[in-house]
Amino acid sequence: MLAEIDAGSGPTSAIGGWGSFWGSCVNAVGSIIALMLPHPPAARPGTLTPMTDANAGAAPDPTQQHHRPGLAALPVAILHDRRERVFLLLSGLFLGTLAMLNILGISRFIKLFEYDFDPSTPGVTVFAVAVGVLPYPLTFLCTDLISELFGRRRASQVVWVGLVLNLWIVGILWLGGWLPGFETIDPATGALALDAAGRQPVFYEIRALAFGAVTASMIAYLAAQFVDVYVFHFWKQLTRGKHLWLRNNGSTVISQLVDTVAVILITHFYAQALPIDSGRGLWPQLGMFIAAGYAFKLIAALLDTGPFYLASHWLAKYLRLPPPDHDHSAEHSGSDL
């Protein structure tokens, strides 16, 4: 269990191994960023080239613009700049939110409400969610917008960058606890001395909880985000670009169910961090945590339909992309949006 790891220990040979590991991570990030950046535009500025869609997952070509009545064609440099700024903003919101929720993670549970299903027995059923769940719906809104505007391939690349970010967080937390500090060491055990309440210093408490949260979220995150991107584009192809509400809600509802089940089960069986009442049945309590977390995310997903509609329509116009409900079937094959 991660919470039982000796916070003051660490083999001296670990630095070399971790140096190689972080070197590989840096190379991986560089490769991903290189893939994410579009090739330099070659078209003459101001040229209006039609948007095409083959549903192949590629980002929109920086030289292509969708004709908008009443709007003049943009110079290629301005068009490219707009698209990169929007992509960086959405990616930054996604990655920043991901880092924040992994640090907050399971450090505190919020009681939504409680209900006594059986008054004849002691105790009540509590519906609670981890504090890290609060900003999580924003990550799905960001990936849905990236999928809609920039294609499945770039959305998947952002998901992989998020995985590398998780590894970076784990590495920094590990290194921060491995290096010598000013904590008191128990001479009898060689481990960190506990305070009067039997707790480790604050950093190590946060580190233990973050390790558990990151481990749970990394597995659930990869499964859920790739399900979200795949289902989003499955519905987009099936409906030929129509019914924006269906692909937004359909992808998020399924992916968040995958995420919630995985996070709750891994957090309990691996990190042992859920506030479980030992006097009551385990699976009913886990079921309540899954139900409460999924209900919260489901409500948030339904509420973000309006912002998703507004943002996708406005950004498509701003970036000179086809409207979200545009039918690409009548156009020639080419780059996917």
Q: Among positive and negative, which fits the CA dihedral 66, 72, 73, 74?
A: negative
Determine the pLDDT at residue 104: 78
Determine the pLDDT at residue 93: 94
Q: What is d(CA 162, CA 152) in angstroms, rounded to the nearest whole number? A: 15
Q: What is d(CA 314, CA 323) in angstroms, rounded to the nearest whole number? A: 9
Residues in CB range of 8: below 8 A, 6 or more apart? 177, 183, 185, 190, 191, 192
Tell me the sheet residues that pair with 79: none
Other Cβ atoms closer than 10 A to 114: 12
Residues in CB range of 172: below 8 A, 6 or more apart? none
Output the pTM of the full model: 0.68
Q: What is d(CA 274, CA 283) in angstroms, rounded to the nearest whole number? A: 12
Q: Name the maximum alpha-carbon separation found in the chain.
A: 79
Q: What is d(CA 125, CA 311) in angstroms, rounded to the nearest whole number? A: 39
CB of 292 closer than 8 Å to CB of 127: yes
Block means of pLDDT (10 residues each) for the chain, length 337 residues? 36 42 50 46 43 51 80 89 94 90 78 72 73 80 89 86 87 89 82 79 82 75 73 74 69 78 81 77 86 84 84 92 66 39
Q: What is d(CA 105, CA 131) in angstroms, rounded to the nearest whole number? A: 6
